[in-house]
């Protein structure tokens, strides 16, 4: 039986998050500059988005640029930002055709104006799509997110809009950039690295973590199916013991 048909629809994660890693090493393996790896990474973005939507996954979050990535060489940053503009302008039609809504998390106002503009246009054009939401984490880091949520809540508290007793987990979740999006059940990281790199630290509290040695430009539908099948074999206990779980 092929991998796709082994996936149980009733146990499908509704939200998958991916740390796309290994573009640079993939390029090096091919004797090419790092940007070649990013360009080939776009194919993996397209494949995983298509595969997730076909399966019925409701949210797919991709870590495309972290707040720390500004430390990279200027040329690489410029090339990545240009690639984002190109990809967004080209792929919005595909998103429309596939009924996929685009959303972004991160401090996107600080992106170069053309990237920011292309992103806002994509978000606006796809805002009524319903099948799946594709969330791009851009100029994102979990510590930034937790800090901006805390600042927002501190201000609301100061303005008398919230009181201390009513402050709970939901209040905090709703102040994060992921407000309204269920937490990811599955986190995938490619390229053999096993760390979270400041990605969705609050939201991944109970996620299953899946690490694959595949470099991101080589990531295809089959790899996504493998990760989901691995996820479906795990027992998610949320602090309980096996015997307490409803089958």
Active site residues: 21, 69
Segment interacting with ligand FPP, rule: CB under 6 A, options 14-22, 158-166, 201-209, 225-233: 14-22
Instruction: Give the DSSP H or E segment for 18.
Output: strand 15-19
> CA 9, CA 75: separation in Å to the nearest integer?
43
DSSP-derived secondary structure letter, 206: T
- Of the candidates 62, 95, 105, 175, which one interacts with ligand FPP according to CB under 6 A? 62
- What angle, rounded to 10 degrees, do the helices at 34-55 and 221-232 form? 60
The answer to whether the beta carbons of residues 18 and 57 sit under 8 Å apart is: no
**What are the residues facing 134 on neighbouring strands?**
60, 102
Site for ligand FPP in 215-244 (CB under 6 A): 216
Query: According to CB under 6 A, which residues from 102 to 161 bind ligand FPP?
Result: 136
* Torsion angle (degrees, nearest 10) of CA 35, 135, 10, 20: 20
In the bound complex, what is the minimum distance in angstroms from residue 134's beta carbon to ligand FPP? 8
Is the Cβ of residue 173 or residue 197 nearer to ligand FPP in the bound state?
A: 197
Stretch that binds ligand FPP, among 79-87, 114-122, 151-159, 180-188 (CB under 6 A): 79-87
Specify whether the CB–CB gap between 203 and 31 falls below 8 A: no
Site string for ligand FPP, 159-198 (x = CB under 6 A): --------------------------------x-------
Residues binding ligand FPP (CB under 6 A): 20-25, 38, 41-42, 45, 62, 64, 69, 83-84, 87, 136, 191, 216
């Amino acid at each position: 039986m092929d991998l796709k048909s082994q996936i149980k629809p009733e146990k499908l994660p509704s939200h998958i998050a991916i740390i796309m890693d290994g573009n640079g090493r993939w390029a090096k393996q091919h004797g090419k500059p790092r940007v070649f790896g990013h360009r080939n990474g776009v194919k993996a973005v397209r494949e995983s988005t298509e595969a997730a939507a076909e399966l019925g996954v409701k949210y797919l979050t991709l870590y495309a640029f972290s707040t720390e990535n500004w430390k990279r060489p200027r040329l690489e940053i410029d090339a990545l930002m240009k690639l984002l503009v190109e990809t967004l302008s080209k792929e919005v039609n595909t998103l429309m055709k596939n009924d996929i809504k685009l959303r972004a998390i991160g401090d996107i106002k600080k992106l170069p104006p053309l990237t920011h503009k292309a992103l806002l246009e994509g978000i606006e054009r796809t805002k009524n799509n319903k099948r799946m939401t594709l969330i791009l984490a851009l100029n994102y880091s979990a510590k930034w997110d937790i800090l901006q949520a805390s600042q927002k809540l501190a201000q609301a508290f100061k303005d008398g809009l919230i009181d201390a007793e009513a402050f709970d987990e939901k209040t905090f979740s709703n102040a994060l950039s992921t407000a309204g999006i269920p937490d990811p059940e599955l986190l995938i990281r490619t390229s053999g690295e096993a760390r979270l790199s400041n990605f969705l630290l609050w939201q991944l509290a109970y996620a299953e973590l899946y690490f694959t040695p595949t470099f991101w430009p080589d990531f295809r539908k089959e790899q996504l199916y493998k990760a989901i099948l691995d996820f479906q074999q795990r027992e998610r206990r949320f602090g309980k013991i096996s015997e307490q779980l409803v089958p």
